[in-house]
Amino acid sequence: MANNTETAQVSLDPEPAHVISATVESQDSTGDDIARALHDALQGLPSHIVKDLVSIGVCCRCIFRLFGTRDNIYSCSSLSPSILSSVLREHEDSSRRPTAEELEVEVVLCTLCLGILQFTYCDDKEMVVKKSANDMAVVISELVKQEGYQIDSFSLEVSIPPLILENEHLFWLYMKSKYGSELWFQGRSLSQCISAKDALKFYLTQPLEALLDCKSGMSAFRIRLTYTHSKASKMVQSVAVSTQGTGNIADSIDDCVVGDIEYSGLADVTIERSFDGLRDNGSSQCFKFPLEKVNEACHLVLLCHRTPIYFGGRYMKYSRNVSQTRWIIDDERMGEASVEEIIGSNILPMCKGDNHKFHAAGREDIDVRMLGSGRPFLVEIQNARHIPSEALVKEIEIKINDLENKLVGVKNLKVVGNEGWTLIHEGEAEKQKQYAALVWISRPLEDEDLESISSLKDTKILQRTPIRVLHRRSPLEREKIIHWMKIERIGGSSQYFLLHLCTQAGTYIKEFVHGDLGRTHPSVGSILGCRAEIVQLDVTDVKMDCFQTE
């Protein structure tokens, strides 16, 4: 019960409840059915305590969960304190049955769960909504279907105000103080109670499984119910006030907004620790109980989303006027397009996602082509409604490669799991890259130059941060390795040649050629003993194992 937000299966293991159909009304119970179910559930519970809790505004479902009852009683769609009181009175008058008025669901909000387990809440229009568990399941399933999600499982997440946890602690201190000497209370602890969060998930999971026609469990598709309340948790608020100015509250309770709205799970830990001493000495005199009447329901925000899906592959960039990612400077676009936009804009519609992000194993400058086997990349699709089949992914690859402008191409595109991140990051530090550079030198190329260049193997160079990137990079000196080089003559030219080379990842190739005013040493210019300038550069291979062309 300590975590404020949880993604897990309900930790209850009840007997199978009635299986519902899409027409959820089939589960509604008659007055006699409800009375009989209540009578069975109440067996073994101290009736005077139940009456006490009813009198102080605790709802039926909270009474049963706080006693740790794991029974089909939770399946009853119409549970109200008046029905519970009526069943309790049957011990005095066995001929009495609940009246029609008593079968009406009461609108009084529970002092413990704030109406959450009565399925009462405020919607986004500030209207108070009252539903049954089945009705709420229908609302959730309709949202999933309206959004067009393609699912084969789901995970139900619930976030509740920490005020409810505080209420439960106060309740337990009250019970211990008033009934701690009674035999039935001996050996009991708050940890044996069923949390409001788990109880709510228990009520909703089975009807949702029937309506969505899939099972609940660990899933990439999440249904999230977030309840908030305008009344701040007094305990968390008092801790926040007492630590104001020390920085402790900011360090320990991330995302906590004192005065209301939302707390992280650490807020619950704060409440747990604050009550530890009181639980040990059994004192509750400093806390007000019974709790104040609840006049306002929790606000409910219902969201559905899928965790990101990833497409991995290798891209080629054939243009010297295309950036890797969208590049805007002072509201002016640099280049005619980007690899990110071309690939992402073709994948996103197929997945019906909200947006996409592009990740690659390194990058090349806008005026550098990416050729050969291509550069490994990942496209992250957020909140995808559809998961494309292998055949559809192949269609996307063909579509990108057949674009009229031929700016970008892709190879070996496929849907990958989170292991795609691992493959890219593990290979990034160790990868080697091959280049082809068109170089001009200030004197005619000689045969000795070819030998002096090709004879160098695993040459270590020192590179200070290039002048051209000093405005955005730290001024550091890095050691890099040039694994091999060779010169290819260009017919009809004595001062231009192609330089083929393989280097350690992260080497600044342009600066290695011209020396960057001595900031890179040695350089091609210093090795040949003349001025050298790079005219054009292509990446011809990125040596990494991930997303290799099949």
Active centre residues (catalytic): 365
Q: Secondary structure of 396-407 in the HEC alphabet?
A: HHHHHHCCCCCC
Neighbours of 491 (CB within 10 A): 4
- How far apart are the C-alpha atoms of 31 and 37, rounded to whole Å? 10
Sequence-ordered list of residues with C-beta below 8 angstroms from that of 542, at least 6 positions apart, any chain: 314, 361, 362, 372, 373, 374, 375, 376, 431, 433
Mapping DSSP to helix (H, G, I), strand (E, B) and coil, where does residue 157 land?
Answer: strand
DSSP 368: S
Rama region for 396: left / alpha / beta (φ>0; ψ in -120 to 50; rest)? alpha
Supply 436's token pair: 């082809």
- How far apart are the C-alpha atoms of 240 and 274, rounded to whole Å? 12
Sequence-ordered list of residues with C-beta below 8 angstroms from that of 448, at least 6 positions apart, any chain: none
- How far apart are the C-alpha atoms of 327 and 367, rounded to whole Å? 13
Cis before 522? omega within 30: yes
Mapping DSSP to helix (H, G, I), strand (E, B) and coil, where does residue 460 land?
Answer: strand
Sequence-ordered list of residues with C-beta below 8 angstroms from that of 106, at least 6 positions apart, any chain: 80, 81, 82
The neighbouring-strand residues paired with 300 are: 227
Supply 355's token pair: 């947006």
Neighbours of 33 (CB within 10 A): 12
Taking Cα atoms as reference points, which of 75, 76, 107, 102 lies closest to residue 89?
A: 102
Taking Cα atoms as reference points, which of 74, 92, 159 lies closest to residue 121?
A: 159
Q: Up-side HSE of residue 430: CA atoms within 13 Å toward CB?
A: 8
Mapping DSSP to helix (H, G, I), strand (E, B) and coil, where does residue 19 land?
Answer: coil
Give the torsion sign (CA, 34, 35, 36, 40): positive
Neighbours of 361 (CB within 10 A): 21
Longest dimension (CA), the chain: 115
The neighbouring-strand residues paired with 488 are: 498
Cis before 290? omega within 30: yes
Q: Up-side HSE of residue 78: CA atoms within 13 Å toward CB?
A: 21
- How far apart are the C-alpha atoms of 151 and 149, rounded to whole Å? 6
Mapping DSSP to helix (H, G, I), strand (E, B) and coil, where does residue 477 land?
Answer: strand
- How far apart are the C-alpha atoms of 215 and 196, rounded to whole Å? 22
Q: CB–CB of 360/375 below 8 Å?
A: yes
